[in-house]
Chain A
Amino acid sequence: MKVGFYPGCSLEGSSKEYSKSLFAVAKICGITLREIEDWSCCGATAAHNLNHDLAIALPARTIALAEKQGFEQIVIPCAACYGRLAAAQQAILGDESILARTQKNIDMELTGKVQLLTIFEFLQQYIFPVADKHIVNKLNQKTACYYGCLLARPKDLTKLEHPENPMEMEKAMEKAGASPIDWAFKTECCGAGFSMSRTDLVAKLSGKILEDAADRGAESIVVACPMCHSNLDLRRPEIKKQLKKDINIPVLFITQALGLSMGIPACDLGLDKHFVPTEKAVSCIVKKEA
Chain B
Amino acid sequence: MAKIGVFICHCGENISATIDVAKVAEEASKMPGVAYAMDYKYMCSDPGQTKIIEAIKEHQLTGIVVGACSPRMHEATFRKAAEKAGINPFLCEIANLREHISWVHPRTEATTQKAIDIVRTIVNKVKKDTPLYPIKVPVTKTALVIGGGIAGIQAALDIANAGHKVILVEKSPSIGGHMSQLSETFPTLDCSQCILTPRMVEVAQHPNITLHTFAEVESVSGFVGNFDVKVRLKARSVDMSKCTGCGACWQKCPNKKIPDEFNAGLSFRTAIYSPFPQAVPNKPVIDRANCTWFQKQKCGLCKKTCPAGAIDYDMQDEIIDLKIGAIVTATGFDIKHADFFPEYGYGEFKDVIDGLQFERLASASGPTGGEIRRPSDGTVPEKIVFLACSGSRDKAKGIEYCSKICCMYTAKHAMLYKHKHHHGDAYVFYMDIRSAGKNYDEFVRRAIEEDDVHYIRGRVSRIYEKNGKLIVKGVDTLMNSESVEIEADMVVLATAAVANPDAESVAQKMHISYDKHHFFAEAHPKLRPVETNTAGIMLAGACQTAKDIPDSVSQASAAASKIIGLFSTDEMTREPIVAVVNRCMPPLFTTCTGCLLCMEVCPYHAIEREEIKDRRTGEVLKVAAKVNAGLCQGCGTCVAFCRNKSIDLQGFSNQQMLSEVMALLNKPF
Measured CB to CB, the residues of A under 8 A from B are 162-165, 184-185, 188, 212, 215
Contacts and interface: CB of A to CB of B under 8 A. Distances in A.
B485 to A, nearest CB: 10
B106 interface: no
A164 B342 contact: yes
Contact of A212 (B342, B462, B466): B466
A184 B342 contact: no
B343 interface: yes
Complex A-B, nearest 4 residue pairs according to Cβ-Cβ distance, in ascending order: A184-B464, A164-B342, A164-B343, A165-B342
Interface in B184-212: none
B343 A184 contact: no
A215 B465 CA distance: 12
A281 B471 CA distance: 30
A289 to B, nearest CB: 34
Given A184-B464, A184-B466, 11 more contacts: A162-B342, A163-B342, A164-B342, A164-B343, A165-B342, A184-B465, A184-B471, A185-B464, A188-B462, A212-B466, A215-B466
A16 B526 CA distance: 66
Interface in B452-469: 462, 464-466
Nearest to A184: B464
A164 B396 CA distance: 14
A188 B464 CA distance: 11
13 contacts: A162-B342, A163-B342, A164-B342, A164-B343, A165-B342, A184-B464, A184-B465, A184-B466, A184-B471, A185-B464, A188-B462, A212-B466, A215-B466
Contacts of B462: 188
- Of the listed residues A163, A165, A184, A215, the one surrounded by the most CB atoms of chain B closer than 10 A to its CB is A184
A195 to B, nearest CB: 20
A162 B347 CA distance: 15
A165 B463 CA distance: 12
A163 B464 CA distance: 15
Contacts of A212: 466
Interface majority SS (helix, strand, loop, mixed), chain B = strand
Interface size class of B (residues with CB under 8 A): under 10
Contacts of A162: 342
Contacts of B466: 184, 212, 215
Contacts of A215: 466
Nearest to B342: A164
A141 to B, nearest CB: 22
Contacts of B464: 184-185
Nearest to A182: B465
B483 to A, nearest CB: 11
B459 to A, nearest CB: 15
A238 B538 CA distance: 68
A162 B464 CA distance: 16
Nearest to A164: B342
A184 B462 CA distance: 9
Contacts of B471: 184
A188 B462 CA distance: 9
A184 B344 CA distance: 11
A172 to B, nearest CB: 21
Contacts of B343: 164
A162 B342 CA distance: 9
A165 B462 CA distance: 12
Q: Which of A163, A164, A215 has the most CB of B within 10 A?
A: A164
Interface in B337-359: 342-343
A36 to B, nearest CB: 35
A226 B343 CA distance: 25
A208 to B, nearest CB: 10
Contacts of B342: 162-165
Interface string B454-497: 00000000101110000100000000000000000000000000
Contacts of A164: 342-343
A163 B343 CA distance: 9
A184 B471 CA distance: 10
A139 B549 CA distance: 60
A164 B462 CA distance: 10
A120 to B, nearest CB: 18
A162 B471 CA distance: 21
A92 B343 CA distance: 32
Nearest to B348: A165
Contacts of A185: 464
A84 B462 CA distance: 26
Contacts of A163: 342
A212 B464 CA distance: 11
A164 B397 CA distance: 14
Nearest to B466: A184
A253 B471 CA distance: 29
A185 B471 CA distance: 12
A188 B343 CA distance: 11
Contacts of B465: 184
A165 B465 CA distance: 14
B648 to A, nearest CB: 49
A223 B342 CA distance: 22
Nearest to A188: B462
A165 B466 CA distance: 16
B583 to A, nearest CB: 57
Contacts of A184: 464-466, 471
A100 B408 CA distance: 54
A164 B464 CA distance: 12
B184 to A, nearest CB: 35
A224 to B, nearest CB: 20
B324 to A, nearest CB: 49
Nearest to B473: A188
A152 B269 CA distance: 41
Interface in B134-167: none
B35 to A, nearest CB: 68
Nearest to B467: A215
B243 to A, nearest CB: 48
Interface in B426-472: 462, 464-466, 471
B342 to A, nearest CB: 4
Contacts of A188: 462
A262 B27 CA distance: 104
A189 B466 CA distance: 18
A188 B466 CA distance: 15
Nearest to B396: A155
A212 B473 CA distance: 15
A97 B105 CA distance: 49
A192 B437 CA distance: 47
A105 to B, nearest CB: 32
B444 to A, nearest CB: 31
A215 B471 CA distance: 15
A164 B461 CA distance: 11
A9 B464 CA distance: 35
A250 to B, nearest CB: 23
A213 to B, nearest CB: 12
A194 to B, nearest CB: 16
A9 B465 CA distance: 37
A39 to B, nearest CB: 35
Nearest to B461: A188
Nearest to A216: B466
A204 B343 CA distance: 22
B493 to A, nearest CB: 15
A184 B463 CA distance: 9
A95 to B, nearest CB: 22
B464 to A, nearest CB: 3
A98 to B, nearest CB: 24
A184 B487 CA distance: 14
Interface in B320-348: 342-343
A137 B371 CA distance: 53
B45 to A, nearest CB: 66
B338 to A, nearest CB: 14
Nearest to A186: B464
B220 to A, nearest CB: 42
A212 B462 CA distance: 15
A184 B472 CA distance: 12
A162 to B, nearest CB: 7
Interface string B242-269: 0000000000000000000000000000
